[in-house]
Structure 1
Amino acid sequence: MSTDTRASTDTERRDGGMAKRVVAESYGGPEALSLIDSDVPAPGQGEVTLRALAIGVNPLDYKLYSGGMGKDPAALPMPVGLELSGTVTAVGRGSEGPAGPLSVGDEVMAYPAPGAYATDLTVPASSVVPKPPELSWEAAAGLLLTGATAVHALTVVDPSEGETLLIHGASGGVGLLAVQIAAASGARVVGTASERHLELVERYGATALPYGDGLLKRVREAAPDGVDAVVDTSGTREAIDASLELVPDRERIVSILAFDRGDTGIKLIGGAPNADPGTQIRAGAWRRLIRLVRQGELEVPVSRSYSLAEAAEAHRFLAEGHPGGKVVLLP
Structure 2
Amino acid sequence: MRAVTYDAYASDNSRLWVGEVPDPKVGPGQVLIEVRAAGVNPVDWKLMAGGLDGMMDVWFPVIPGWDVAGVVRATGPDTPEFAVGDEVLSYARKDVVHGGTFAELVAVNAASVAKKPASLDWNQAAGVPLAGLTAQRSLDRLDVGPDDVLLVHNASGGVGSFAVQIARHRGARVIGTASERNHDYLSELGAEPIAYGDGVVERIKQAAPDGVTAVADFVGGQLETTLAVLAQGGRHVSIADPTVEQKAASGHWIWVRPDGAKLAGLVELPLKVEVAGTFTLEKAGEAFDASREGHTRGKLIITP
- Please confirm whether the aligned pair reaches a TM-score higher than 0.5, indicating the same fold: yes
- Which amino acid in the other structure matches residue 49 of structure 2? S
Post-superposition offset of 1:42: 4.2
Post-superposition offset of 1:218: 0.8
Post-superposition offset of 1:30: 2.2
- Which amino acid in the other structure matches residue 291 of structure 1? E
Q: Which moved more, 1:116-125 or 1:204-213?
A: 116-125
Q: Which of 68, 76, 81 in structure 1 is aligned with 2:60? A: 76
Deviations 1:97-137 (A, max 9, x none): xxxx2111111102225511101122222222100110010
Percent of matched pairs sharing the same residue: 37
The aligned counterpart of 1:64 is 47
Residues 1:210 and 2:185 aligned together:
no
Q: Which of 106, 130, 137 in structure 1 is aligned with 2:86? A: 106
Equivalent positions of 1:1-331 (< 5 A) are 19-28=1-10, 29-70=12-53, 75-96=59-80, 101-113=81-93, 114-236=99-221, 239-249=222-232, 252-261=235-244, 262-270=246-254, 277=255, 279=257, 284-292=261-269, 296=270, 298-331=271-304
Post-superposition offset of 1:228: 1.0
Q: Distance in 2 between matches of 1:155 and 1:139?
A: 23
Residue pair 2:213, 2:234 contacting (<8 A) in 1 also: no
Task: Please list every run of 5 or more consecutive structure 2 residues that lacks an aligned counterpart in the other structure.
Answer: 94-98
Q: Which moved more, 1:68-77 or 1:180-189?
A: 68-77
Q: Distance in 2 between matches of 1:73 and 1:57?
A: 21
Task: Please list every run of 5 or more consecutive structure 1 residues that lacks an aligned counterpart in the other structure.
Answer: 1-18, 271-276
Deviations 1:254-300 (A, max 9, x none): 11112244322242333xxxxxx4659x56421331221xxx3x222
The aligned counterpart of 1:7 is none
Structure 1 residues 154 and 142: CA distance shift in structure 2, 3 A: same
- Which amino acid in the other structure matches residue 86 of structure 1? G
Q: Distance in 2 between matches of 1:266 and 1:225?
A: 18
Tell me, what secondary structure is at the counterpart of 1:75?
strand
- Which amino acid in the other structure matches residue 102 of structure 1? F
Post-superposition offset of 1:73: 10
- Which amino acid in the other structure matches residue 24 of structure 2? P
Tell me, what secondary structure is at the counterpart of 1:39?
coil
- Which amino acid in the other structure matches residue 193 of structure 1? A
Residue pair 1:57, 1:81 contacting (<8 A) in 2 also: yes
Post-superposition offset of 1:225: 3.7
Structure 1 residues 187 and 74: CA distance shift in structure 2, 3 A: closer
Indicate the RMSD between aligned Cα atoms, in angstroms.
2.1
- Which amino acid in the other structure matches residue 7 of structure 2? E
- Which amino acid in the other structure matches residue 89 of structure 2? M
Residue pair 1:166, 1:231 contacting (<8 A) in 2 also: yes
Residue pair 2:90, 2:260 contacting (<8 A) in 1 also: no
Q: Distance in 2 between matches of 1:33 and 1:279?
A: 27
Tell me, what secondary structure is at the counterpart of 1:174?
helix
- Which amino acid in the other structure matches residue 108 of structure 2? V
Residue pair 1:48, 1:125 contacting (<8 A) in 2 also: yes
Residue pair 2:176, 2:186 contacting (<8 A) in 1 also: yes
Tell me, what secondary structure is at the counterpart of 1:134?
coil
Deviations 1:5-46 (A, max 9, x none): xxxxxxxxxxxxxx1111112211222211121111342322
Tell me, what secondary structure is at the counterpart of 2:267?
helix
Tell me, what secondary structure is at the counterpart of 2:101?
coil
Bigger Rg, which one: 1
Residue pair 1:161, 1:185 contacting (<8 A) in 2 also: yes
Aligned positions, number: 296
Structure 1 residues 311 and 249: CA distance shift in structure 2, 3 A: farther
Q: Distance in 2 between matches of 1:249 and 1:133?
A: 43
With the length of structure 1 as denominator, give the TM-score of the two structures.
0.84
Post-superposition offset of 1:69: 2.1
Structure that is richer in helix per residue: 1
Structure that is richer in strand per residue: 2
